[in-house]
Amino acid sequence: MKAQDKHPHVRGFGMASARSRARLIERLRSLGIEDESVLAAMGRVQRHQFVDEAMTSRAYDDTALPIGYGQTISQPYIVAQMTRLLIADGVPDNVLEIGTGSGYQGAVLAELIANVYTVERIEPLYQRVRRRFVELGYRNVRARLAREDVLGLPDYGPFDAILVTAGAETLPTSLYEQMADGARMVVPVGASGNQHLIVVHRDGDQFSQETLDAVSFVPLIEQRD
């Protein structure tokens, strides 16, 4: 039994949710997401639990939705694509997510990965999502409130993979030291309106990168001096 199914009292809309998730998975397949483990994870996560109640009817649309504080819950296709890229070399044991937001991406990761660390800078969102992970039974997700002077969670690394869910104007090389040897990082980089997903690979002291899809993310809140 999956974590979400243990809590039937949590807000939901029954079989409509299951049918809506099934339609979403078929749409993701039609858009080229072929990794069945990613599709299965997406199918298990109840996205309507991660949006405001007023948005419940749109929870399974393949679109980003507002969650307050100038932030959004990512489009399901982008969540699936970034998850696929993160596990392309094999499923890592521990992952750092930067930008918890609604918690939806973290929940998808938690369906696949043993240990998920996720960090959020906006305290009301952090408080909300921490409660949500508990209510939904995600015991393998550790949510932390970000420090103002540090990007990531250096005290908990190094990590086998890092996923950044906000747009960095330039590649955040300060995260390299939090990558274990052999790790990969998926991060949207570029000015607003000109962002692309970049995958960074670490091989010893060498870092290589490849530029992929055009994307659109809210800005990464960089660490303050």
Catalytic residue positions, numbered: 74
Rounded to an integer, what distance in angstroms lies between the CA atom of residue 130 and that of residue 118? 10
**For 147, phi and psi rounded to 5 degrees?**
-80, 145
Q: How far is CA 27 from CA 48, 86, 187, in A?
A: 17, 21, 24
Task: Walk across the sheet containing 94-98 and list its strands.
Answer: 141-145, 115-120, 94-98, 159-164, 179-189, 195-203, 206-215
Measuring CA to CA, which residue among 129, 73, 127, 130 is closest to residue 105? Answer: 73
Q: How far is CA 26 from CA 21, 31, 46, 53, 111, in A?
A: 9, 9, 16, 25, 19
